[in-house]
């Protein structure tokens, strides 16, 4: 199994190179000269030439790209044009915010989606089923930026129950241990900080998770229904096990495999959804950083972020495969 | 909780379920029809030209009896008219992305599935690379760097949409390739092209129709997200996402600017998704959503 | 289906607790300021954003600053800045000036800072020191600057020079900015979260600060106006920059905050590049100036929060002439006639505007389109991303655009930049008569003489109309109760000017 995962990880490297190449090629289409991002247009030609050379922009694009690859192989992803700090430092400082948001959104999706799906699947055609169905289709079809705006309007603007954006109030005084605020608050035994972080997290996580929640509900419903028809469930029932027990022990476990698959498949959508949700909620993650980076033509930052996104994406898919083997030992990885 | 699952009850449930499918299809078709009607007949349906401004009538709230039924925006344009005209962009994008994505995806999928070998490997590699971009990111990058425009948005959204088509078609082609009737067609000397046209494509058609419904829903949301980020089509063309983007600065002062365009996106996408689901349970219950 | 959804939503609405978020009082005189622009890293020289420039000046100390009460540039870090002759300037540092870590501030620090600004790849503000031929330290406290041509704007430029330590730079390089950000300003750097916030702490040794100034200030990015106002209402911030007109009433209605308005010194204008057709025709440019109904835009979109310009400057700025009235009133017939007289009716033009950079920029440009069309232009509106627009403007590739230019207390630099031949490619206007007038202004060191020469240049510029001057926005700041802060006509929030009651 270790060999298998190592192979998959190594196999990801050429993909990352090609992905970086595609983004690099796209950048060549961008109007204007990258130097204009670095220095005022009032600068003399000599100054511009000097800056161009200092940032390595005087070389042909192919050479620039190869240089980038060579440095990236050593972990150096260059300096951000906009922030004048190493790209990886900026990205890594903001990564926990995005991961925390994505995990919270997934949790919301699972915690709402699975019970709703089980309820609907166990009693197809009931009021629960219609309700779950309505809810799930609404979740799938809801544009998350719209939902975000409406929730901010209601919860922050109108009722003043939740903050309008950001990740924490100022002066929280929470030391960063893991970078995940909820976890850090727990580790330091800070109930107040936990509550504050949770308040900030609530709206963005719900908005981001809604889509996946809808999909999970539908999937759980279908697989629970299917499982209830299977022979072993029928047998279990015949043996006199209570319905609830059958449902949770057998049908639910079956459904879980599907749910894990969906989480993997939808994680990419979640990450790109996060770009927009982070923008709407001023969430200081890598999604809003990417949107800012694109609007300020911060090429080194954009490439760095695309690579980080892609890597996360590949890693998550790998983890999903791993999760299969845990949930269902019958699946063996070759 | 206790569940009684008597045979009698199951029958009743299945009837309910079929009922629900009918409703979904009906709602979906209705939304599609409304969208088409709005797009095709916008000049006749819209009470005002979409870009007609009246600065003195800016930010009027909805008024069911007045000239601006859904209110006006920050420069005094009629929101209802802009939603009606905005359907055109949604319609064009959804249609074009569905056509280009299905054409590309199906062609590559059939080729990969039918010929196998290194061709299959190469196409699979392509799929892997394009699939490793988080969905909207590639589109954002394309539009941000190459420029605004209807054509560019279509290309940007197609760039990843072809993949589900390719995957499903490939899998079905591989399954079909070994089937009796295809094998016998081969022994009878039918050309590759003939078999693909007459045997493979008709068999994958249903899946394609189902996927297209979801692809359209997806394209509409993605386009409005791009417009929302200011990366969509040029501003002279009204779009739902663009209207929402404008509305952001006025949420607390003119909620109608945000509510109605968002509702338009939501209901349209809901329609497409329900339609897709109904088609799926009708034709191809095994097909998972993509 | 929808009938089921509605009761559900209603139930959700009722179930949510009705407690309001407790307004966070500024504890121990800490205040948070919501700002619009992003915060780049630790490097004080990288970012040309005006508000951040003032933040770095608070930390490191800049050589001069503009005193709005006196109406002139005064020494800030320096003890004096004097011009010895037309080309030579001398800066003297006060005796015994110390950094936050106790190091002395030396003349060589100034030389180093100017060199860094001018030539280091990390600098984004090289334009500040362009044309300074020689910068040398005469002794530990005295610096002499020699310029290539007479430059009356030097004090203005020195207001952008934050003085960092040469010794620390020699030791640490660029890492100094993060590891040893020791300045000599009224506030100390406490924390930077890139792209999010920057926190300052009061330096009680500095003569400008008093105990009633905030002990800590956080500048926090909130790009969306709604977000800034909501944060103000919730007590998350105490000062909010740039409240747009449509939200001013909402702030006024808040129990815990108010609005303070101030004129900006940012001219908003429509630039028309004479290198392109039809803007090579003066009548077409003048037609634009006549076509825009500025009064209607200010009334309807800006809700009165702007005042119309007769030229690039208004009261309080150098070169303002109270008697000068722009020859371009709103007159659509005149605009049509002008366009007709040169046979350009129906000519196609593209109007470009940034989105969200200036108050209601896109909305204003949208409103201008039908006005221009009424004058006979055929207009396409273009709303590129800021970076794209700005890159193209800087290369002279945008023929017709709506733009602002701030920091115009002394308009000289801006006017040279946009309108002098070879000043920059942004408009590409070339007019020897205007060049002569602008150069004369720059070489005049006597304020009254300079003002008169500037007025002459401006009057000529307005008539030639390479740009149609629109208005200056009234900048509205949201300020929480218990905070005393008088915003100035520049995007600055200086800690020593904020008082916590």
> pLDDT by residue (tens digit) across B99-116?
999 999 999 999 999 998
CB within 8 Å: C384 and B148 = yes
User: Residue C225 is nearest to which of B27, B144, B249, comparing CB atoms?
Assistant: B249
Q: Does C119 touch chain A (CB under 8 A)?
A: yes
User: Residue C236 is nearest to which of A44, A90, A163, comparing CB atoms?
Assistant: A163
Helix (H, G, I), strand (E, B) or coil at C221: strand
ipTM for the predicted complex? 0.85
Largest CA distance in chain A: 88
Average pLDDT for C380-400: 84
- Against chain B, the chains showing at least 3 CB pairs within 8 Å are A, C
Q: What CATH number is given to the structural domain containing B275?
A: 1.10.3720.10
Q: Tell me what pLDDT residue C22 has.
A: 36
Strands (E) across chain A are located at none
Closest CA to B240 of B264, B204, B275: B264
Q: Tell me what pLDDT residue A66 has.
A: 92
CB within 8 Å: B251 and C226 = yes
Give the span between the Cα atoms of B130 and B140, in whole angstroms: 14
Q: What percent of chain C is predicted at pLDDT more than 70?
A: 94
Average pLDDT for C164-181: 93
Q: Tell me what pLDDT residue B92 has.
A: 94
Give the span between the Cα atoms of A277 and A287, in whole angstroms: 8
DSSP B200: I
Q: Tell me what pLDDT residue C349 has.
A: 95
Q: Does B58 touch chain C (CB under 8 A)?
A: yes
Is a pLDDT exceeding 50 seen at residue C4?
no
Is a pLDDT exceeding 70 seen at residue C21?
no
State the pLDDT confidence band at B153, using cuts at 50, 70 and 90.
very high
Rounded CA Rg of chain B: 23
Dump the DSSP string for A243-292: HHHHIIIIIHHHHHHHHHHHHHHHHHHHHHHHHHHHHHHT--SHHHHHHH
DSSP A152: I
Scanning the structure block, which residue is given the tokens 């139930």? C11
Q: Tell me what pLDDT residue B75 has.
A: 86
* Cβ atoms of C251 and C259 closer than 8 Å: yes
Average pLDDT for B92-96: 94
Give the span between the Cα atoms of B226 and B154, in whole angstroms: 11
Average pLDDT for C272-280: 93
User: Residue A141 is nearest to which of B13, B258, B266, comparing CB atoms?
Assistant: B266
Q: Tell me what pLDDT residue A40 has.
A: 67
Residues in contact with B213: Cβ distance below 8 Å, sequence separation at least 6, in sequence order? B28, B272, B273, B275, B276, B279
User: Residue B255 is nearest to which of A153, A218, A272, comparing CB atoms?
Assistant: A153
Q: What percent of chain C is predicted at pLDDT more than 90?
A: 54
- Determine which helix (DSSP H) or strand (DSSP E) holds C190, and give its type and residue range: strand C187-193
Higher per-residue pLDDT: C191 or A246: C191
Q: Which chain A residue shows the shortest CA-CA distance from B4? A: A243
Average pLDDT for C473-500: 91
* Residue B64 located in a structural domain: no
User: Residue C20 is nearest to which of A44, A134, A160, comparing CB atoms?
Assistant: A160
User: Would you call A334 exposed, middle or buried from its count of C-beta atoms within 10 A (0-12, 13-18, 19+)?
Assistant: exposed
Q: Tell me what pLDDT residue C5 has.
A: 41
* Cβ atoms of B173 and B227 closer than 8 Å: no
Ranges for all domains in chain C classified under CATH 3.10.105.10:
267-474
CB within 8 Å: A171 and C30 = yes
Q: Tell me what pLDDT residue C426 has.
A: 87
CB within 8 Å: C381 and B236 = yes
Is a pLDDT exceeding 90 seen at residue C90?
yes
CB within 8 Å: B145 and A29 = yes
Query: What's the number of domains chain B is made of?
Result: 1
Q: Tell me what pLDDT residue A101 has.
A: 95
Q: What is the mean pLDDT of chain B?
A: 85
Q: What is the pLDDT of residues A72-130, one digit of tens each?
A: 888 899 888 878 788 998 999 899 999 999 999 999 999 999 889 888 888 877 888 88
Q: Does A307 touch chain C (CB under 8 A)?
A: no
Q: Tell me what pLDDT residue C15 has.
A: 37
Give the span between the Cα atoms of C34 and C220, in whole angstroms: 5
Residues in contact with C147: Cβ distance below 8 Å, sequence separation at least 6, in sequence order? C87, C88, C89, C131, C132, C133, C154
* Residue B19 located in a structural domain: no
* Residue B136 located in a structural domain: yes
Q: Tell me what pLDDT residue A333 has.
A: 45
CATH number of C62-165: 3.90.76.10
Q: Tell me what pLDDT residue C240 has.
A: 94
Write down the CATH superfamily of domain C23-44+185-256+481-500.
Periplasmic binding protein-like II (3.40.190.10)
Helix (H, G, I), strand (E, B) or coil at C367: helix
Q: Tell me what pLDDT residue A7 has.
A: 82
Q: What percent of chain B is predicted at pLDDT more than 90?
A: 43
Is a pLDDT exceeding 50 seen at residue B2?
no
Whole-number Cα distances in Å, C427 to B178, C291, C344, C369, C434: 69, 20, 21, 21, 14
Average pLDDT for B127-156: 86
Q: Tell me what pLDDT residue C28 has.
A: 55
Largest CA distance in chain B: 77
Q: Tell me what pLDDT residue B252 has.
A: 80
Answer yes or no: pTM beyond 0.95. Answer: no
State the pLDDT confidence band at B121, using cuts at 50, 70 and 90.
very high
Give the span between the Cα atoms of C130 and C117, in whole angstroms: 9
Question: Domain residues for B184?
Answer: 88-288
Q: Tell me what pLDDT residue B233 has.
A: 85
Give the span between the Cα atoms of B152 and C270, in whole angstroms: 29
CB within 8 Å: B23 and C1 = yes
State the pLDDT confidence band at B259, using cuts at 50, 70 and 90.
very high
Ranges for all domains in chain C classified under CATH 3.90.76.10:
62-165
Q: What is the mean pLDDT of chain C?
A: 87
Q: Tell me what pLDDT residue B284 has.
A: 57
Is a pLDDT exceeding 90 seen at residue C201?
yes
Q: Tell me what pLDDT residue C100 has.
A: 92
* Residue B8 located in a structural domain: no
Q: What is the mean pLDDT of chain A?
A: 84
Q: Does C224 touch chain A (CB under 8 A)?
A: yes
Scanning the structure block, which residue is given the tokens 């106790």? C102
State the pLDDT confidence band at A157, using cuts at 50, 70 and 90.
confident
Q: What is the pLDDT of residues A261-280, one digit of tens each?
A: 788 878 878 888 898 899 88
* Cβ atoms of C278 and C264 closer than 8 Å: no
Is a pLDDT exceeding 50 seen at residue C262?
yes
Test the A interface: residue of B17, B32, B134 with most A CBs within 10 Å: B134
User: Residue B141 is nearest to which of A23, A130, A279, comparing CB atoms?
Assistant: A23
Which range (A1-5, C82-86, C101-105) has the least confidence?
A: A1-5
Q: Does A134 touch chain B (CB under 8 A)?
A: no
* Residue B180 located in a structural domain: yes
Helix (H, G, I), strand (E, B) or coil at B119: helix
Q: Enumerate the residues of chain B whose CB falls inside 8 A of the CB of residue C225.
A: 249
Q: Tell me what pLDDT residue B13 has.
A: 46
Q: Does C421 touch chain A (CB under 8 A)?
A: no
Q: Which chain C residue shows the shortest CA-CA distance from A299? A: C387
Average pLDDT for B244-251: 84
Q: Enumerate the residues of chain A whose CB falls inside 8 A of the CB of residue B218.
A: none
State the pLDDT confidence band at C20, using cuts at 50, 70 and 90.
very low
Dump the DSSP string for B125-188: HHHHHHHTS-HHHHHHHHHHHH---HHHHHHHHHHHHHHHHHHHHHHHHHHHHTSHHHHHHHHT
State the pLDDT confidence band at A319, using cuts at 50, 70 and 90.
confident
Return residues 241-260 of A near B (CB < 8 Å). Answer: 242-244, 247
* Residue B35 located in a structural domain: no
Q: Enumerate the residues of chain B whose CB falls inside 8 A of the CB of residue C350.
A: none
How close, in Å, is residue C174 to chain A by CA atoms? 10
Alpha helix locations (H) across B196-239? 201-228
Q: Tell me what pLDDT residue C236 has.
A: 84
User: Residue C227 is nearest to which of A32, A51, A282, comparing CB atoms?
Assistant: A282
Average pLDDT for A313-317: 83
Higher per-residue pLDDT: B158 or A227: B158
Q: Enumerate the residues of chain A whose CB falls inside 8 A of the CB of residue C386.
A: 295-296
Q: Tell me what pLDDT residue C27 has.
A: 43
CATH number of C267-474: 3.10.105.10
Helix (H, G, I), strand (E, B) or coil at B246: helix
Q: At residue C37, what are phi and psi to the nearest 5 degrees?
A: -95, 160
Q: Tell me what pLDDT residue A128 has.
A: 85
Is a pLDDT exceeding 90 seen at residue B216?
yes
Q: Does C8 touch chain A (CB under 8 A)?
A: yes
- Cβ-count burial C305-322 (b if 16+ within 10 Å, e if not): bbeebbbbbbeebbbbbe
Q: Tell me what pLDDT residue B286 has.
A: 53
Is a pLDDT exceeding 60 seen at residue A253?
yes
């Amino acid at each position: 199994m270790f060999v298998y995962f190592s192979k998959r990880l190594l196999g990801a490297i050429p993909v990352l190179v090609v992905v970086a190449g595609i983004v690099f090629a796209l950048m060549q289409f961008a109007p204007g000269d990258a130097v204009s991002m670095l220095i005022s247009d009032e600068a003399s030609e000599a100054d511009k030439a000097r800056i161009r050379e200092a940032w390595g922009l005087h070389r042909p694009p192919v050479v620039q790209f190869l240089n980038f690859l060579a440095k990236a192989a050593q972990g150096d992803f260059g300096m951000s044009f906009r922030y004048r700090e190493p790209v990886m430092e900026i990205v890594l400082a903001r990564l926990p915010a995005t991961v925390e948001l994505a995990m919270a959104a997934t949790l919301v999706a699972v915690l709402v989606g699975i019970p709703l799906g089980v309820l609907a699947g166990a009693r197809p055609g009931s009021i629960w089923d219609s309700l779950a169905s309505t809810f799930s289709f609404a979740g799938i079809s809801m544009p998350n930026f719209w939902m975000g705006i409406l929730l901010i309007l209601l919860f922050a603007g109108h009722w003043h129950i939740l903050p309008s954006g950001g990740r924490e109030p100022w002066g929280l005084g929470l030391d960063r241990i893991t970078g995940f605020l909820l976890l850090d608050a727990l580790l330091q035994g800070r109930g107040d900080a936990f509550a504050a972080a949770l308040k900030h997290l609530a709206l963005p996580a719900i908005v981001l998770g809604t889509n996946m929640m809808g999909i999970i509900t539908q999937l759980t419903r279908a697989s629970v229904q299917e499982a209830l028809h299977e022979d072993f469930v029928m047998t279990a029932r015949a043996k006199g096990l209570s319905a609830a027990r059958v449902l949770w022990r057998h049908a639910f476990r079956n459904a879980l495999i599907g749910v894990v698959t969906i989480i993997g498949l939808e994680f990419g959508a979640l990450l790109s959804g996060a770009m927009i949700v982070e923008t709407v909620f001023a969430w200081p993650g890598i999604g809003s950083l990417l949107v800012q980076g694109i609007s300020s033509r911060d090429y080194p930052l954009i490439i760095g972020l695309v690579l980080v996104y892609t890597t996360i994406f590949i890693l998550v898919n790998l983890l999903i495969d791993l999760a299969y083997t845990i949930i269902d030992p019958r699946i063996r990885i070759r | 909780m206790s569940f009684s699952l008597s045979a009698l009850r199951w029958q009743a449930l299945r009837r309910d379920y079929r009922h629900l499918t009918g409703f979904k299809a009906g709602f979906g078709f209705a939304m599609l029809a409304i969208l088409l009607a709005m797009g095709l007949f916008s000049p006749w349906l819209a009470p005002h030209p979409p870009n007609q401004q009246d600065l003195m009538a800016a930010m009027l709230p909805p008024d069911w009896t007045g000239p601006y039924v859904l209110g006006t925006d920050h420069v005094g344009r009629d929101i209802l008219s802009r939603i009606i005209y905005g359907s055109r962009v949604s319609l064009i994008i959804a249609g074009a992305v569905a056509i280009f994505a299905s054409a590309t995806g199906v062609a590559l999928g059939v080729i990969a599935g039918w010929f196998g070998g290194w061709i299959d490997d190469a196409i699979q590699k392509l799929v892997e690379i394009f699939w490793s971009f988080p969905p909207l990111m590639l589109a954002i990058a394309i539009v941000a760097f190459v420029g605004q425009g209807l054509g560019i948005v279509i290309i940007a959204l197609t760039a990843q949409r072809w993949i589900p088509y390719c995957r499903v078609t490939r899998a079905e082609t591989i399954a079909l390739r070994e089937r009796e009737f295809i094998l016998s067609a081969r022994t009878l000397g039918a050309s590759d092209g003939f078999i693909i046209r007459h045997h493979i494509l008709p068999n994958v058609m249903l899946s394609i129709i189902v996927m297209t419904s979801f692809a359209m829903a997806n394209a509409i949301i993605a386009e409005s997200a791009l417009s929302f980020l200011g990366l969509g089509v040029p501003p002279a063309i009204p779009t739902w996402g663009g209207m929402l983007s404008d509305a952001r600065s006025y949420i607390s002062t003119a909620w109608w600017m945000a509510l109605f365009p968002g509702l338009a996106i939501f209901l349209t996408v809901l329609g497409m998704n329900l339609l897709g689901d109904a088609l799926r349970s009708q034709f191809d219950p095994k097909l998972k959503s993509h | 289906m929808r009938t089921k959804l509605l009761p559900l939503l209603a139930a959700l609405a009722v179930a949510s607790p009705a407690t309001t978020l407790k307004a966070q009082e500024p504890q121990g005189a800490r205040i948070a300021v919501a700002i619009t622009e992003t915060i780049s890293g630790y490097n004080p020289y990288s970012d040309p954003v005006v508000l951040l420039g003032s933040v770095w000046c608070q930390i490191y100390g800049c050589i001069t600053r503009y005193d709005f009460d006196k109406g002139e540039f005064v020494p800030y870090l320096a003890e004096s800045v004097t011009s010895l002759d037309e080309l030579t300037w001398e800066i003297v540092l006060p005796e015994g000036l110390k950094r936050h870590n106790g190091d002395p501030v030396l003349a060589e620090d100034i030389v180093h800072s100017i060199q860094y600004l001018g030539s280091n790849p990390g600098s984004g503000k090289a334009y500040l020191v362009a044309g300074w031929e020689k910068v040398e330290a005469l002794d530990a406290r005295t610096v002499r600057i020699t310029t290539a041509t007479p430059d009356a704007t030097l004090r203005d430029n020195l207001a952008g020079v934050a003085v960092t330590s040469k010794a620390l730079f020699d030791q640490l390089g660029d890492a100094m900015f993060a590891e040893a950000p020791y300045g000599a300003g009224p506030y100390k750097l406490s924390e930077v979260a890139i792209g999010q916030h920057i926190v300052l702490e009061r330096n009680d040794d500095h003569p400008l600060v008093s105990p009633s100034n905030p002990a800590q200030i956080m500048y926090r990015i909130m790009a969306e106006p709604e977000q800034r106002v909501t944060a103000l209402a919730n007590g998350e911030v105490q000062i909010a920059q740039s409240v747009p007109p449509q939200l001013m009433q909402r702030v006024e209605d808040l129990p815990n905050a108010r609005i303070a308005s101030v004129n900006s010194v940012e001219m908003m204008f429509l630039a028309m590049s004479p290198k392109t057709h039809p803007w090579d025709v003066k009548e077409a440019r003048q037609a634009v100036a006549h076509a825009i109904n500025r009064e209607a835009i200010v009334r309807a979109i800006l809700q009165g929060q702007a005042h119309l310009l007769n030229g690039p400057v208004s009261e309080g700025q150098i070169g303002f002439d109270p008697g000068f009235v722009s020859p371009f009133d709103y007159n659509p017939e005149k605009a049509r006639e002008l366009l007709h007289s040169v046979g350009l009716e129906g000519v196609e033009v593209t109007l470009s505007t940034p989105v969200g950079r200036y108050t209601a920029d896109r909305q204003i440009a949208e409103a201008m389109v039908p006005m221009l069309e009424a004058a006979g232009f055929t207009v396409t509106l273009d709303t590129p991303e800021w970076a794209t627009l700005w890159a193209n403007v800087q290369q002279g590739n945008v023929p017709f655009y709506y733009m602002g230019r701030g920091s115009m207390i002394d308009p000289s630099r801006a006017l040279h930049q946009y309108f002098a031949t070879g000043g920059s490619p942004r408009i590409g206007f070339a007019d020897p008569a205007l060049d002569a007038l602008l150069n004369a202004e720059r070489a005049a060191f006597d304020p009254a003489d300079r003002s008169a020469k500037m007025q002459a240049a401006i009057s000529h510029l307005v008539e030639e109309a390479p740009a149609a001057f629109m208005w200056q926005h009234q900048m509205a700041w949201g300020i929480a109760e218990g905070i005393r802060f008088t915003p100035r006509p520049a995007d600055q929030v200086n800690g020593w000017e904020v008082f916590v009651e």
